[in-house]
Amino acid sequence: MRRRPKAAESRLERAGKWLYEAHRTRQRFEPLPAGLAPRSVSEAYSIQSEYVGMRAASLGQVTGYKIALTTPAMRAMVGLDDPIAGDMLDKNIRRGNARVRAADYVRLLVEFEIAVELADDLPAIGAPYDRMRVANAVAALMPALELADDRNADYSSLPENALLLIADNAWNEGAVLGEPARNWQGMDLAGLLGVAMINGTNVGQGHGHDVMGHPLDALAWLANHLASRGLGLWRGDVVVTGSLVSSKFPKAGDRIRFEAGALGPVEMHVD
């Protein structure tokens, strides 16, 4: 009996594999080869899914999401009109005070965020979502440090490589989550003051309204974005909603702390 030939890899599958290998071999953030580069936002997310799927074999399934480019200034810097989303894999999500190794990243980048843990599903069929509807699905809020790796990117080249930023999973390498606040409903999330500290020194601060007007508006954006791709958010998923403070680049020996008002602090030590 003649065997059927194995289907050839698609261009998007090959692009995902190229990204996976670039990370594995610790290459600098560079454009995809011309024949593999995404030609649309839709293709960029398809490549992201291929790349993340390869990483999931060792890092576990997708159990969370990040939202990036939540301010007009950041979107203008890279030449995109909308925020972007990235997946977070189970083994990259840490809880409580954590330690990470600078040597595990090409260039570690940290952002200072409000994270959401879901108590109920937000399926694609339920879209469109707004702040009130997603609020009813929230189990807890917590301070978070998003971990990312820009692989020594040349930021001046990002406008020419904006779709690659999507394909590269928005650089996400997980998050460190603080203690969950389950009685959050009375908190002024828009007015919440977040303070970023490195080795005890204040290195920046921002408010909840700096994230798309309100952190739960960012969550609603993500639910609607995923729905547009036929995807949903599920009970237990964690979402980091965007940084209140500009990105920082810690080095070995640094102690990172984010004090998120009534949500409390989260800390991380870089070895």
Asked if 62 contacts 56 with a C-beta cutoff of 8 angstroms, the reply is: yes
State the SS3 of 54-123.
HHHHHHCCEEEEEEECCCHHHHHHHCCCCCEEEEEEHHHEEECCEEECHHHCCCEEEEEEEEEEECCCEC
pLDDT recorded at residue 8: 65
Tokens 């990370």 — which residue? 23
Topology of 63-270 in CATH?
Answer: Fumarylacetoacetate hydrolase; domain 2 (3.90.850)
With beta carbons less than 8 A apart as the criterion, state whether 175 and 144 touch.
Answer: yes
**Residues forming beta bridges with residue 267, ordered by sequence position:** 257
Residue 217, pLDDT score: 97
Window from 4-13, 134-143, 152-161 with minimum mean pLDDT: 4-13
Domain extent listing, the chain: 63-270
Residue 75's pLDDT is what?
A: 86
Distances (CA, A) of 196 to 3, 104, 133, 162, 266: 60, 23, 30, 27, 10
Mean pLDDT across the stretch 229-248?
A: 96
Does 240 have pLDDT greater than 60? yes
Q: Which of these ranges, 42-46, 74-78, 159-163, 191-195, has the smallest mean pLDDT? A: 74-78
Check pLDDT > 60 for residue 49. Answer: yes
Residue 222 and residue 259 in contact, taking contact as beta carbons nearer than 8 Å = no
Mean pLDDT in residue range 153-176: 94
The whole-angstrom separation of Cα 233 and Cα 224 is 10
pLDDT tens-digit series, residues 131-145: 999 999 999 999 999
pLDDT at 46: 97
Reported as a single tens digit per residue, the pLDDT across 183-226 is 999 999 999 999 999 999 999 999 999 999 999 999 999 999 99
The HSE-up count of residue 259 (CA atoms within 13 Å, CB side) is: 11
pLDDT per residue as tens digits for the range 79-133? 888 999 999 999 999 998 899 999 999 999 999 999 999 999 999 999 999 999 9
Q: Say what percent of the chain tops pLDDT 90.
A: 89
pTM metric for this prediction = 0.94
* 3 has pLDDT over 70: no
Q: Are 216 and 131 in contact (CB under 8 A)?
A: yes
